[in-house]
Structure 1
Amino acid sequence: MFYGAIVWDPWLIVAQIVCLQSLYYVTLGGFTSILVGTRVSRMSLVYFFDYATVTTSTVTGWCVIASFVFSSILGAVYMLYLVERAKKCLDFSATIYIIHLFICIVYGGWPSSITWWVVNGSGIAAMALLGEYLCIRREMRDIPIARYRSIA
């Protein structure tokens, strides 16, 4: 993809947001089923969207927190392949977490737990910063000019 000519393509942006949001929840579901599923008798969406489950007072709460942290780290890797631009990582990270906030509000009300806000604030920061770091490393790679160039 060439980045010289800036073309605003809203369908591409929407597709990237949908892909990132879907991958985030698939990853969150995987980590939650591994970390929390072994501790509870029945898995539920409450571990995704209810702020009361994000707590430091129980081991299950710490497992939920770890699931969110690991999902944000993998979200940065997803941005490396889907977004490909360091300057867009903060925008896409914020979009993922704003959509998550709206879903949480619809599911369980306004999050009144400070732990929930710290975990999600740390998640957005980790996803944005790690995503920018990975994208910058990719953007700064040398461009191969000639593979079989003779040395004279």
Structure 2
Amino acid sequence: MPPRRRRPPRPGALTDLSPSRILAQILILQVAFYICAAVLIIFTALVAGRTVNLDLVLSWRSLRGDITVGWMLGLCWLLNSLICVIFLLLLIARSKLIPDFAITIHFLHLIVTSFYTRALPTNFFWWVLQIASAALMTSLGIWSCQWRELKPISFGGSSSTARQADSEEANGSHDGLGYPRGRGRGKGADGGGNYEMVGMSDSHRGI
């Protein structure tokens, strides 16, 4: 019995799912997640006249629902999730992979926060914020990627042909009866001779 042939892999499958590429995408997304959050939090703290320190970004103890600073940081993190949707669209661009990367970003943030504070987060407000941020990033990321995937593709040949036809029609390439004029001298549209009507004198008209 001859050996069964293996089905050839889909073009680009090994490249899309390679571990090195996935790790590079996770690293880039995580760095962008912290950079955008740091910029937003530092700017907001300076405007509010607060002291800027690393606890505002990496400590879960600052995210409390009973103080103004906690709500300010919560809004910054939600705005950061909106910005990270752009990075998901540019780097991932596949709607079915968005939930995995969005959850991975917040899971790594949990690990970093726990190592920085040397304790697991116990604030209920922090957990609610992470769930809302992951849900927002996932839903908007899937929507944007699907919008990009379903966007119609315009081919250059057809569009240029249509523009050429429109320009010929606008320039009067058709006669008054709706038939196209000849493109060459002495030739009609079918390649035959092009005839012109000659004015008749009164004697030929029988007058």
Partner deviation per Cα, 1:91-148 (whole Å, 9 max, x = no partner): 0001100100000111111000110000011000101110111000000000113331
| Gap runs ≥5 in structure 1 | none
Q: Given the alignment, which residue of 124, 140, 151 partners 1:130?
A: 140
Quote the Cα distance in structure 2 between the aligned partners of 1:119 and 1:41.
22
Q: Given the alignment, which residue of 73, 97, 120 partners 2:130?
A: 120
Q: What TM-score does the superposition give when structure 2 sets the normalisation length?
A: 0.68
Q: Which runs of 4+ in 1 moved over 6 A?
A: none
Report the AA paired with residue 79 of structure 2.
Answer: F
Map 1:129-148; keep pairs closer than 5 Å: 129-145=139-155, 146-148=158-160
Deviation at 1:57, TM superposition (A): 1.6
Quote the Cα distance in structure 2 between the aligned partners of 1:134 and 1:65.
24
Q: For the pair shown, which has the larger CA radius of gyration, 1 or 2?
A: 2
| Gap runs ≥5 in structure 2 | 1-9, 166-207
1:130 to 1:4, Cα distance in 2 relative to 1, 3 A: farther
The percent of aligned pairs where both chains have the same amino acid is 23
Partner in structure 2 of residue 96 of structure 1: 105
SS in structure 2 at match of 1:148: helix
The answer as to whether partners of 1:36 and 1:64 remain within 8 angstroms in 2 is: no
Deviation at 1:42, TM superposition (A): 2.7
Q: Given the alignment, which residue of 91, 106, 126 partners 2:115?
A: 106
Map 1:2-151; keep pairs closer than 5 Å: 5-7=12-14, 8-108=17-117, 109-145=119-155, 146-150=158-162
Deviation at 1:36, TM superposition (A): 2.3
SS in structure 1 at match of 2:160: coil
Report the AA paired with residue 132 of structure 1.
Answer: I
SS in structure 2 at match of 1:147: helix
Report the AA paired with residue 23 of structure 2.
Answer: V
Partner deviation per Cα, 1:45-91 (whole Å, 9 max, x = no partner): 11112111111222211111011101111111110001111111100
Deviation at 1:6, TM superposition (A): 1.6
Report the AA paired with residue 133 of structure 2.
Answer: G
Quote the Cα distance in structure 2 between the aligned partners of 1:20 and 1:82.
8
The answer as to whether partners of 2:45 and 2:51 remain within 8 angstroms in 1 is: no
User: Which structure shows the bigger proportion of residues in helix conformation?
Assistant: 1
